[in-house]
Amino acid sequence: MSSLYELTNDFERVINMLYDPEVDEQTIFDTLESIEYEIELKAENYAKMIKNLEADVAGLKAEEQRISDRRKSIENKIKWLKANLENSMKTTGRTKFRTALFSFSIQKNPPSLVIEDETVIPKEYFIPQPDIIDKSKLKEALKSGQVIPGAILVQEESLRIR
């Protein structure tokens, strides 16, 4: 069985045969028919491989989600355990002590910034941001027939296997 690359080259040779007056129509038809069958068979096998790989990707995504959910569950248990331990330490007044394996202490964290009203903060504390193009608005304008310098709509093609 020929490779897809070879079959594509065979099709190009058949096209060249169409321009050759010495090649009869039946030869062109027979050659074309055999190439089409091989390409269809090759395309079917490609589709089978693609579907298998897509199934693998779906399975991997599901496994990623399962693992992510498990990680989040464990992280939440860690937060709960720490909060429970901290609450117990504060309640009993034992904010610093050691055991054979660990040292425990409740300390102040570094100060964190809370912005209560952004509108009253002086401009010197703002970082200028570059303009961002609203691509969906631009696309809709181009679809409606407007001509906008620096932007065009491009419609590409892609393979669909159903």
Tokens of 80: 């709960």
- Rounded CA-CA distance 44/7 in Å is 14
- Rounded CA-CA distance 2/25 in Å is 24
pLDDT of residue 160: 77
Domain assignment of residue 58, yes or no: yes
Is residue 96 within 8 Å of residue 104, measured between CB atoms? yes
pLDDT above 90 coverage of the chain, percent: 59
| Ranges of residues in the chain whose predicted pLDDT is under 50 | none
Domain assignment of residue 116, yes or no: no
Domain assignment of residue 142, yes or no: no
pLDDT of residue 117: 94
Number of folded domains in the chain?
Answer: 1
- Rounded CA-CA distance 139/152 in Å is 8
**pTM score, two decimals?**
0.54
Residue 32: domain span: 1-95
**HSE-up of residue 160 (Cα within 13 Å, Cβ side):** 3
